[in-house]
Amino acid sequence: MRIKSIVGLLFVGAFFFSCDDKDDAATVDNSGPKLIVKFKFDPTQERLNNLGLPSTVPPGNAAQSPVFNKISSHYLELAPTAYTALGQGTVLYRNAETTAGGANAIDFSKAIIVAEDEVFMAIPLKDIAAGSYEWVRCSLSYQDYNIKVLSAGTEYTGTLASFVGFRNYITTFNSGGYSYAVNGNRDQGYWAFGLQGVSYSTSGQAPAGATTVPNPLAATSPIPTGSCVVTGKFASNLVITGNETQDVTVTLSLSINNSFEWEEVNTDGKYEPGVGENVVDMGLRGLIPSHQ
């Protein structure tokens, strides 16, 4: 089998999301009612474009819904209205940053990386500004997921670690049973990929600007170029009074509906990098927040 052909063209012309393979979920504060945040990965959730509008896979392309293992965010904010500028809402979380690698970067060693339905963070409700919140803004920084690749008629599973924060300072991280030593800054789009059941791994840097980052508020509250701030609206506003007596759980449901997309050479719906099928997008395809 042609191991090089499986991965050598995997990331040509693509831009990816990223994360690491750690189990550092936030410690829950049991001293009173809390706001608890969790993630969900939904392959059936509506597939959106950068403006938050429904999007289908264009003719000539094909896509698959990857199997997500872990995810991380470096920024989380509640926004009262569609006109609230990024950073002007109630900021719930921001990952530590460092200049250890030169330019300011997310300190990946401090990242909170969780699986579906694990607690990402928990904050006392009394510490959150009282108000009625319509929107959530979540800047994703890392993804770890499995994809299927086809080579010479045989299908393989590979694990992709993708760093999508604006810049990450990374020492060493593990993904899919492989260890990757970086020891420096990596810009948005750094990735690492390893095959399962076959001893092969590689890493590289994807070009910026091609990933879908759904923001339905693009007209009233834009996001900076190079950021990964996915925006979603509550079905009913999240109201915080400061006098809550029970925990409130916010679930951030992310659409992974055909989110791994490539240009077809063989029109069989199978991803075949060895025949020149290039990835064109790996952006998460929407955010629906809910609370209970």
The pLDDT value given to residue 126: 93
Count CB atoms within 10 A of the CB of residue 15: 23
Dihedral of alpha carbons 264, 269, 271, 275, sign: negative
The pLDDT value given to residue 212: 85
Q: Residue 37 and residue 72: Cα distance in Å, rounded? A: 12
The pLDDT value given to residue 30: 54
DSSP 52: S
Ranges assigned E (strand) in the chain = 34-42, 61-64, 67-79, 90-94, 97-98, 105-107, 113-114, 119-124, 131-151, 154-163, 167-175, 178-187, 190-195, 201-205, 229-240, 248-255, 260-263, 279-281, 287-291
Q: Residue 10 and residue 18: Cα distance in Å, rounded? A: 15
Per-residue tokens: 73: 């965010």
Strand-by-strand arrangement of the 61-64 sheet: 61-64, 260-263, 279-281
Compute the residue count for the chain: 292
The pLDDT value given to residue 10: 44
Q: Are 168 and 101 in contact (CB under 8 A)?
A: no
Count CB atoms within 10 A of the CB of residue 108: 28
pTM: 0.86
Domain ranges of the chain: 3-291
Q: Are 56 and 48 in contact (CB under 8 A)?
A: no
203 by Cβ neighbours in 10 Å (0-12 / 13-18 / 19+) ranks as: middle
The pLDDT value given to residue 89: 97
Q: Are 106 and 141 in contact (CB under 8 A)?
A: yes
CA torsion angle for 196, 47, 216, 208 (degrees, to 10)?
Answer: 40
pLDDT in 10s for each residue of the chain, 292 residues: 333 333 443 443 333 333 333 344 444 445 799 999 999 999 999 999 999 999 999 999 999 999 999 999 999 999 999 999 999 999 999 999 999 999 999 999 999 999 999 999 999 999 999 999 999 999 999 999 999 999 889 999 999 898 988 899 999 999 999 999 999 999 988 888 888 988 888 888 877 666 788 999 999 999 987 788 999 999 999 999 989 999 999 999 999 999 988 899 999 999 888 898 887 887 899 999 999 9
Q: Residue 240 and residue 206: Cα distance in Å, rounded? A: 40
Q: Which residue has the tokens 């095959």?
A: 195
Per-residue tokens: 137: 């803004």
The pLDDT value given to residue 110: 97
Q: Which residue has the tokens 């809402």?
A: 89
Nearest to 19 by CA among 146, 120, 159, 113: 113
The pLDDT value given to residue 206: 74
